[in-house]
Amino acid sequence: MSDAATPSPFARPLRERALRFVAAAAVPLVAGCAGAQSQAPAFPVGVTFAWVGTDAGSAPRIDVADPSRYTVRFDASGRAELRLDCNRGSSQWSRDGDRLALTPPASTKMKCPDGSLDAAFAAGLARTTRWSYRDGVLVLEGGDATALRLKRLPP
């Protein structure tokens, strides 16, 4: 007669097999849950974006009347191609996760019409410290609470 405190010699292998089965069944479930989480969007290399405005923290908001005159395109080599109203320019960029840095833009020096926002766009790009997507808009945030809003242009 066996003692109730002494497990059957068959109980341990059965318990181990049951634990292995539960563990094996849990792996796809955990992987499925991990896959269901939203992943951060890839940085938009090779895409042209037009500046639609700036949320400037405590300063007045800027809304751009003709966004097609202010564009940025990030290429894979770390160069950003710029249209700054009547001028063309470029900047170097580097990214680490959601951190983004651009060098101050170098550009042609044509005199743009009065009311041009070329200097404001160039300065906003140079202040960029982070990037994100919000409701289909590329947002370039500065360390000074500014946020440039850019919309993707069709190819």
Q: Kindly report the number of other CB atoms within 10 A of residue 123's CB atom.
A: 15
- The residue-averaged pLDDT of 137-153 equals 95
Q: Are 141 and 155 in contact (CB under 8 A)?
A: no
Query: Which residues are within 8 A (CB) of 137 and not within 5 positions of it... i.e. 6 or more apart?
Result: 52, 149, 150, 151
pLDDT in tens, 27-75: 444 444 444 455 667 899 999 999 999 998 877 899 999 999 999 999 9
Tokens representing 100 are: 């983004």
pLDDT in tens, 113-130: 999 999 999 999 999 999
pLDDT of the residue at 1: 53
Tokens representing 31 are: 């992987």
pLDDT in tens, 70-113: 999 999 999 999 999 999 999 999 999 999 999 999 999 999 99
DSSP E strands, the chain: 48-55, 62-63, 70-74, 79-84, 87-96, 99-102, 106-107, 128-134, 137-142, 147-152
